[in-house]
Structure 1
Amino acid sequence: MKRLFLLVFTAFFFTLSLHAQQPDDALKLGWFTPNGSARNLALGGANASLGGDITSNHINPAGIGLYKTNEFVLSPGFNLNNNNINYLNTKSSLSKNAFAYGTSGVVFGFPNRYQGGLASTAFSISLTQLASYNNHTYYKGSNNYSSYSEKYVEELVRDGANETAALQNYVFGSSLAFYTYLIDTTLNAAGQLSGYKSLVPVGTGIEQERDEDTKGGLHELSFAFAANAADRLYLGLGLNIPILGYNRDLTYTERDLTNNADNNFGYFTYKENYRTNGFGVNAKLGLIYKLNSTVRLGFAFHTPSFMQLTDKQRTEITTNTENYAGIVKASSDEFNSGNAGEVTYRVTTPYRAIGSISFVFNPVEETRKQRGFITADIEYVNYRGIRYNVLPENSGDFEGVDYYKALNDVIKDYYKGNINVKVGGEIKFDPWAIRLGGAYYGSPYADAALSANRIMASGGIGYRNKGFFIDLTLAQTFNTDVNFPYRLNDKANVFAEAKNNRSNIVATVGFKF
């Protein structure tokens, strides 16, 4: 009854914020495979020296400098996800499909009718989906080494929390675990509080089950300008607004494997709804230089995105401790006056640097008479450069400052910079074109034991005639990654080996005007 009284007291007097960002959340903003128009996707996302595609806005804005006419582009798409996960030698699979889209927008080309070094200029507005978060993963396995509940024990012991603090200061996790008796006190010989313990009987084995359904995406609105100097040097600048919308519904359960009704544990279930929304700003600048009519070189630099995000979270824990306290349920809404936990913060995403080369076959001025090309991009991304910070007006929030400093330190240790490679080619049979491409994205993890990469293979066809064009592409991405159901400080963390196969179908329709 003491715990119930404190719960009611807390609900009247506390409306708390949260700091719930994890190292895994950082990768949503940096580690994603190519997207764009169907043509660009078919080329493996390689476009930094090729140009002539609206997706250049989001890769190398100098590429729109090749335009001398106006163009409208629309790129609807569809994603098919298949997940196969191995957790503690137990395999699970699940799939989810969702609508998507590639780069869509408009390009305005302005040829210079007068003699001079500036042959033309171009301006473009476009929207693209950098990353899709629409997915559903599920896995389970038997564990006699650790429990999710131990992270609550670590938190309470670390803070030296007394019983009152344990019930009211951690309303999105540890307080719920303590109230439902998933976590209980330990007493010294004098009967005084000496610490906390989990009632989960890890030593005799537990079944762990995790189900996560995610929705949303990372989108980018781009305003790009490019100049064409003598049809040889192209310079471009893009100002962009990244827009993030993310929703996660998570259910995590641990069950006793012994069926012993007298060991004070039957199961516990943790449920969470987590939403992130926000936007930011970044810049992209680049150049394309034609060494001759056949060879093109490209370079682009993407500044970090400076974003302001808002997280909202609701959590719930149900615990069955059998004869000890029975089934007890508690939610963050009860502890937090019916409000979701909410926090607004700043994020700086990784910068990117891209170098590229293209070879054009039969390089005549009239592109429809060209026979094809081969192009390749190499890209460096500094994943460990992701940074979280409180808002400037919250600089006095020392708890938040300390939390983000610790999180940033973990990110610096946990991730590394790495190289991504994208290649593609096209053969033309006017008015048709056939395209093939591929991409390899290296692991962002500093620990070599965490096997992760992303490999994409793509192919497509295109038709162009009298100012109208339509392209169709199928891109197959093979993602190898790891998923941590929880993280502990005092022992090695268990993780699931995840393999995701994503089919991305994109059609691009456009016309010149």
Structure 2
Amino acid sequence: MNKKLLYGFILSSIVLIGKSQTSRFYPNDVFDAFNIFGDNSNNTSGTARYIGMGGSMGALGGDLSAVETNPAGLGIFRNSVANISMSVLSNKNKATMGNGVNSNTDTNFNIPGAGVALALGDESDMFKVNVGVNFSYQRVDNDVNFSRNTQLNYLYPNKDKVDQMYEMVNYDQYTNGYKSKMKFSLATNYMDRLYFGIGLDWHYLNIDRNSEYGHRNTMDGEYMRFNEQLTPYSQEANGFGLNVGVIGKITPEIRLGAAYHSPIWWSDMEDYRWIYGYNDKGQFVKDYVYYDHYKNVSPGKLVLSGAFASNIMDDDNSLAFNFDFINYFNKDMEFKGDVDYRLNNNFVNDYVRNSQEYRAGIEYRFKELKLRAGYAYASSPVKNNSIAGIWDTDANPVYVKNYLVGEKNKLSFGAGYDIGQFFVDLGYQYMKTDYRTTLSGDFYTMDGSNLTISLDKPYFGKVNNIQNNFILTLGMRF
């Protein structure tokens, strides 16, 4: 069968399936848009100091990762600094659907930041300019594996085409890949009282994703494995964003800051997906299809910050506190390109709202020793009571909160020590979120068996996600 005809046939089928669903979108794409493409509250990148203070340094500045929050913070550097951060991230998912419970953990090594800030000009200059560059690399591996669920059973034809009872054995949603960002920043310092900054960000993303379902014959134990329509798939994309910010010293101890981050405009997206279907003769056909017309717009954000920084008794003791309020403009999210990909805009229009994040951090310094702590909370960008479906309590339609993206709570601690012009920082971050995902759609084996699961009333599973992030930063002032 001609590939273009095959593509057109299956694409039309996907559109019809999407319109027949209550949700009228493709959950995998929406999940990726929020949790991978977005540069939002799920980010675990940053220096150990930044993470140790809960990511709350928008008005304090003076840190390469604080520049990610407000580029004006680059102007606060009085000395040039170079540092590199390394982290180990443990990502644990506990997945529950019906009476099935399963836990699994991924552990990855990341480079949450490597960069340099150049403080130009003399201390006596009324007007100074600083420049900075920072690179980060972050794994996005995530495995959500729902185990055997005896409450989900149904009649299905066995290998002899005789209907027998099958039950769910597993449903695995797996992502493997990474994203990276290169940031160039420029900031000015006017009389050490007023700071302006601008940053330009270049993003790169490379992921592989699969949704796999398995059921077993309760009589003879026959196991069948299915791939969800349009999986496995691979995506590669480049993105660009910019941000501007200002920080002002109200008094020598009190600072206020504001920054705006544009959406991330993703383009040059290369997408390879398996598609399955039947031709006009009833023959099963499958192919690995290349898409090249996708584009994605991730949310922008507004950051408002306040900070207090002062010596307590003398130059050997100091205390700093920072608070950030972040508003994510999630309604700016947009899926562009082929008609099947644009279906996801239905989800944005119907269910997405702006979300907020609150971050607070404190740092105490005694001579060369620094101690830090922080906390952050982010609300869900998805409206509560929004997605109709069935499961966990009964077989009637129910409504859920935290669909695909849940509220996030983050607690962090850190310590640092100066050794002459060198410094070493350690940070720890604990992040917890609960969210719901769905089991629905068309599933196929590679030899043509087909299973449709609850298109009108998708089954829900609950995911409890816990991340433990350990960061080491080594740096030098010069």
TM-score (norm 2): 0.80
Tell me what 2:401 maps to: 450
Give the partner amino acid of 2:117: V
Tell me what 2:241 maps to: 282
- Counterpart CA distance in 2 for 1:489 and 1:93 is 25
Tell me what 1:387 maps to: 334
Give the partner amino acid of 1:56: A
Picking from 38, 49, 60, the partner of 2:59 is 49
Which structure: greater helix fraction? 1
How far the C-alpha of 1:342 sits from its partner, in A, is 3.2
Give the partner amino acid of 1:306: W
- Counterpart CA distance in 1 for 2:432 and 2:290 is 36
8 Å Cα contact 1:35/1:45 also seen in 2: no
Tell me what 1:393 maps to: none
- Counterpart CA distance in 1 for 2:158 and 2:235 is 30
How far the C-alpha of 1:503 sits from its partner, in A, is 0.8
Matched, 1:310 2:259: no
- Counterpart CA distance in 2 for 1:35 and 1:11 is 42
**Aligned-partner SS, 1:68:** coil
Between stretches 299-308 and 402-411, larger displacement belongs to: 402-411
How far the C-alpha of 1:205 sits from its partner, in A, is 6.5
- Counterpart CA distance in 2 for 1:423 and 1:13 is 56
- Counterpart CA distance in 1 for 2:132 and 2:177 is 25
Tell me what 2:292 maps to: 343
> CA deviation digits over 1:59-82, x for unaligned, max 9?
111001011322111001111122
8 Å Cα contact 2:77/2:119 also seen in 1: yes
Matched, 1:417 2:354: yes
When residues 494 and 505 of structure 1 are mapped into structure 2, their CA distance, relative to the original with a 3 A threshold, is same
- Counterpart CA distance in 1 for 2:97 and 2:427 is 34
- Counterpart CA distance in 2 for 1:302 and 1:254 is 46
**Aligned-partner SS, 1:484:** strand
- Equivalent residue runs for 1:362-373 within 5 Å: 362=311, 369=316, 371-373=318-320
Q: Identity over the aligned pairs, expressed in percent? A: 21
- Counterpart CA distance in 1 for 2:198 and 2:136 is 17
- Counterpart CA distance in 2 for 1:237 and 1:224 is 6
Name structure 1 gaps, 5 residues minimum: 1-8, 150-179, 185-198, 318-328, 334-338, 391-399
How far the C-alpha of 1:497 sits from its partner, in A, is 0.8
8 Å Cα contact 1:97/1:135 also seen in 2: no
Give the partner amino acid of 1:351: G
8 Å Cα contact 1:313/1:341 also seen in 2: yes
- Equivalent residue runs for 1:169-208 within 5 Å: 206-208=167-169
Tell me what 1:177 maps to: none
Tell me what 1:176 maps to: none
Between stretches 105-114 and 473-482, larger displacement belongs to: 105-114
Matched, 1:356 2:356: no
Picking from 124, 129, 136, the partner of 1:128 is 136
8 Å Cα contact 1:33/1:441 also seen in 2: no
When residues 374 and 207 of structure 1 are mapped into structure 2, their CA distance, relative to the original with a 3 A threshold, is same
Tell me what 1:23 maps to: 30
When residues 233 and 490 of structure 1 are mapped into structure 2, their CA distance, relative to the original with a 3 A threshold, is same
Matched, 1:252 2:209: no
**Aligned-partner SS, 1:495:** strand
Tell me what 2:189 maps to: 228
8 Å Cα contact 1:207/1:256 also seen in 2: no
> CA deviation digits over 1:356-392, x for unaligned, max 9?
111112189x9x74512111111011223210112xx
When residues 94 and 74 of structure 1 are mapped into structure 2, their CA distance, relative to the original with a 3 A threshold, is same
Give the partner amino acid of 1:415: V
Tell me what 1:142 maps to: 150
Matched, 1:39 2:49: yes
Tell me what 1:396 maps to: none
- Counterpart CA distance in 2 for 1:90 and 1:294 is 55
- Counterpart CA distance in 2 for 1:511 and 1:115 is 24
When residues 74 and 146 of structure 1 are mapped into structure 2, their CA distance, relative to the original with a 3 A threshold, is farther
8 Å Cα contact 1:357/1:377 also seen in 2: yes
**Aligned-partner SS, 1:413:** helix
Give the partner amino acid of 1:494: Y
Which structure: greater strand fraction? 2
- Counterpart CA distance in 2 for 1:507 and 1:462 is 10
When residues 239 and 115 of structure 1 are mapped into structure 2, their CA distance, relative to the original with a 3 A threshold, is closer
Give the partner amino acid of 2:294: Y
When residues 83 and 495 of structure 1 are mapped into structure 2, their CA distance, relative to the original with a 3 A threshold, is same
**Aligned-partner SS, 1:111:** coil
| CA radius of gyration, larger in | 1
How far the C-alpha of 1:11 sits from its partner, in A, is 6.6
How far the C-alpha of 1:316 sits from its partner, in A, is 7.6
8 Å Cα contact 2:212/2:225 also seen in 1: no
Tell me what 1:269 maps to: 226
Tell me what 1:168 maps to: none
Give the partner amino acid of 2:333: I
Aligned residues: 423
Name structure 2 gaps, 5 residues minimum: 15-25, 278-282, 386-399, 442-452
The two structures, once aligned, show a CA RMSD in angstroms of 3.3
Matched, 1:470 2:431: no
How far the C-alpha of 1:14 sits from its partner, in A, is 5.6
Give the partner amino acid of 1:66: I
> CA deviation digits over 1:300-323, x for unaligned, max 9?
110001111221123689xxxxxx
8 Å Cα contact 1:285/1:300 also seen in 2: yes
- Equivalent residue runs for 1:295-334 within 5 Å: 295-308=254-267, 309-314=269-274, 332-333=286-287
Matched, 1:62 2:62: no
8 Å Cα contact 1:101/1:506 also seen in 2: no
Between stretches 134-143 and 107-116, larger displacement belongs to: 107-116
